[in-house]
Structure 1
Amino acid sequence: MNKFQSTINLVGRIAIATLFLPAGIQKLIGIEGTIAYFGSLGLPALAILVWVVIAIEILGGLALILGYHTRVVALGLAIFTLGASIVGHPFWAAPQDAAFIAQLLFIKNMAILGGLLVLSSSGAGSFSLDARKSKA
């Protein structure tokens, strides 16, 4: 990967991380509301699940920014995003007045999932901890 590609890759990693890192921090700051929201979705083991989701979003976002185990992290976040989209934005089961917004959010997440899959395939590039590890 040349310097231009590595720069674009870094910008892309940061852009994708802007979805996960702030979302995880918001969930952490408003933990009670997060637990209530997850409960409204009918999800099991609420307390454990909420903490797992927060950890995935915060640690995954940081790993993307730093370019740390990028291929594995990006693939894991892609799977996480698919699951979160199916559970959190089921436009096919939403009331008519909410279906359009749910569909937009679902499609947005599929675009993010696509970016994560490309990142999983391409790796982090030169500006990453992954690149520093491979030089050592």
Structure 2
Amino acid sequence: MTNMNSNLTHAAIPAIGRTLIAAIFLISGIGKLMAPGATMAYIGSLGLPAPALGLLGALVLELAGAVLLVVGYRTRLVALLLAAYAVVTALIFHHALADQNQMFHFLKNLVMAGGLLQVVAFGPGAFSVDSRRAPAQRVAA
């Protein structure tokens, strides 16, 4: 592989990683959008208040967050919000750790948060809206 191809491949890795991380949020958000009643019933079954508000918040975070993460706009902030969301949902919805399935989902959420924190730490990479913004805007972000 030539040096130019190697650099291009290396530059594409963060965009691929962001897309892979965003996929679970996008699929989850679409699932909630397609079955809002079931989602609100699940939220309510845990005794949480305002299931409709919880659904709306989850939809916004998952769908908008996924799209913003993929395109790399305000990437560090979006990744931080999604990481916090993943940890909070792990603690609220997947805390029955004696159940192997719940333990798996709990750990999956922690792994997602870990990947998102890597995005927070190292940024969106070359193929992102953030990398195209003016240097003064980048510093302010």
Q: Same fold (TM over 0.5)?
A: yes
Kindly indicate whether structure 1 or structure 2 has the higher relative contact order, using CA contacts under 8 Å at least 6 residues apart.
Answer: 1
C-alpha separation between the residues in 2 aligned to 1:6 and 1:85? 32
TM-score (norm 2): 0.86
SS of equivalent to 2:133: helix
Q: Deviation string for 1:3-42 (max 9, x for gaps)?
A: 4443110110000001101111110111111111111121
Match of 2:73 in 1: 68
1:58 is matched by which residue type in structure 2? Answer: L
Structure 2 residue runs of 5 or longer lacking an equivalent are 1-6
Instruction: Please tell me the residue identity of whatever aligns with 1:100.
Output: Q
**Could you tell me how far apart the structure 2 residues matched to 1:14 and 1:117 are?**
15
Q: What RMSD over aligned residues (CA atoms) do the two structures have, in Å?
A: 1.5
Partner of residue 102, structure 1: 102
Q: Quick one: which amino acid aligns to residue 76 of structure 2? A: R
Within a 5 Å distance, the mapping from 1:20-31 to structure 2 comes to 20-31=25-36
* Cα deviations by residue, 1:31-69 (Å, 9 ceiling, x for unpaired): 111111111121111111110111100000001110010
Q: Secondary structure at the match of 1:91?
A: coil
Alignment match, 1:90? 95
Question: How far apart are the structure 1 equivalents of 2:8 and 2:46?
Answer: 45
The answer as to whether partners of 1:14 and 1:65 remain within 8 angstroms in 2 is yes
Deviation at 1:79, TM superposition (A): 0.4
Structure 2 partner of 1:112: 112
Q: Could you tell me which residue of structure 1 aligns to residue 4 of structure 2?
A: none
Please tell me the residue identity of whatever aligns with 1:117.
L
Contact 1:35 1:47 in 2 (8 A): yes
Report the Cα distance in structure 2 between the residues aligned to 1:5 and 1:52, rounded to whole angstroms: 35
**Identity over aligned pairs, percent:** 38
* Structure 1 residue 53 corresponds to structure 2 residue 58: yes
Match of 2:3 in 1: none
Q: Is the 8 A contact 1:9 1:124 kept in 2?
A: yes
Aligned match of 2:17: 12
Q: SS of the counterpart of 1:38? A: helix
Aligned residues: 130
Q: Which stretches of structure 1, 4 residues or more, deviate above 2 A after TM superposition?
A: 2-6
Larger of the two Rg values belongs to structure: 2
